[in-house]
Structure 1
Amino acid sequence: MQLTSFTDYGLRALIYLASLPADKMTSISEVTEVFGVSRNHMVKIINQLSREGFVNAVRGKNGGIRLGKAANTIRIGDVVRALEPLSLVNCSHEFCHITPACRLKPVLRQAVHNFLEELDNHTLAEMVEDNPPLYKLLLVE
């Protein structure tokens, strides 16, 4: 399974935000610069993360973005569910004529379930706590 770039950069953005002091606001432009992704793409990602409650976006002169909840309460599986289209195959009758007899769909459904269950065992905090190499790469003090 490969995550879309949308989910990939969403996770990276959250890791960046989690590596900052809790009260520090940053900008979408700063996140964009750190990861070398287009601003338009990151705006869409941050908007979705904001709608899902993972990011708090404040408009205006003193605005910016920061985590919307504590990093230790954000499960990686929840982020992936919120950002990733998790349908591995198109099982519509119009697309696949073996759908009524297919035994692959439940196997793939279970695989996705197991994948997300494993991701649910990990929080955003685990990705950043006591990780000096990460801080150095992100230039976070």
Structure 2
Amino acid sequence: MRLTTYTDFGLRTLIYLALLPRDQKTSIAEVSAHYQVSRNHMVKVIHQLAKLGYVSSTRGKGGGIRLGMPADEICVGDVVRALENALDGIDCNSPACCLTPSCRLKGVLKKAVNAFLAVLDEYTLAELIVNRDDLIPLLWKDGLPGKEVSTES
């Protein structure tokens, strides 16, 4: 099963925000730049995440984005369900298939998708970042933004 880039960017955004210090905000431009994604595309993704409550967005001076709820309350399976448009595995009507009345493929694929989602349901966003010490340098060469990096040995 392959997720859409929309869902991929949504999950990446949540990981990015979960790695930030609890009350620190960032911008859509910063997230877009880190993942080398079009800002316009990221605006759509983050807007949807905000509508779903996963992201908190504040406009104006001092505004920005951050997680809208604790990372340990964000179920990866729920995020995927919310962001993916077509999780039914197959569309038997486009183009219309003559096998539809007797075909078992759609049922098998639906079972496979349910198994895929069941695995994702076992994980929270917090569990995706337990290796935060490995992830942070991949996003921020000099450590988290807003944190002083010690130069002492």
Structure 2 stretches lacking a partner, 5+ long: 145-153
Residue 70 (structure 1) aligns with: 70
The Cα of 1:87 is off from its aligned counterpart by 2.8
Equivalent position of 1:19 in the other structure: 19
User: Which residue number corresponds to residue 128 of structure 1?
Assistant: 129
Which whole-Å deviations, capped at 9, do the CAs of 1:66-86 have from their partners, x for residues lacking one? 111100010110110011121
Structure 1 runs of 4+ with >3 Å offset: none
Structure 1's unaligned 5+ residue stretches are none
Show the counterpart of 1:112: 113
Describe how 1:22-61 pairs up with structure 2 within 5 A.
Answer: 22-61=22-61
RMSD of the TM alignment (CA)?
Answer: 1.3
What is the TM-score with the length of structure 2 in the denominator? 0.88
Q: Deviation of residue 91 (structure 1)? A: 1.7
Q: Distance in 2 between matches of 1:34 and 1:102?
A: 45
Amino acid at match of 1:87: D
- Native 8 Å contact 1:56 1:68 kept in 2: yes
Matched residues, percent identical?
Answer: 55
Q: Find the residue that maps to 1:114 and give its secondary structure.
A: helix
Cα distance in 1 for partners of 2:50, 2:104 equals 38
Q: Distance in 2 between matches of 1:27 and 1:93?
A: 40
Partner of 2:100: 99
Q: Which has the higher helix share?
A: 1
The one-letter code matched in structure 1 to 2:46 is I
Note if contact 1:90-1:96 (Cα within 8 Å) is conserved in structure 2.
no
Which is worse superposed, 56-65 or 129-138?
129-138
Does the Cα contact within 8 Å between 1:93 and 1:99 map onto a contact in 2?
no
Secondary structure at 2:101 match in 1? helix
TM-score, reference length from structure 1: 0.95
Higher relative contact order (CA closer than 8 Å, sequence separation 6+): 1
Equivalences, count: 141
Q: Is the 8 A contact 1:25 1:64 kept in 2?
A: yes
Greater Cα radius of gyration, structure 1 or 2: 2
State the shift of 1:93 in Å. Answer: 8.1
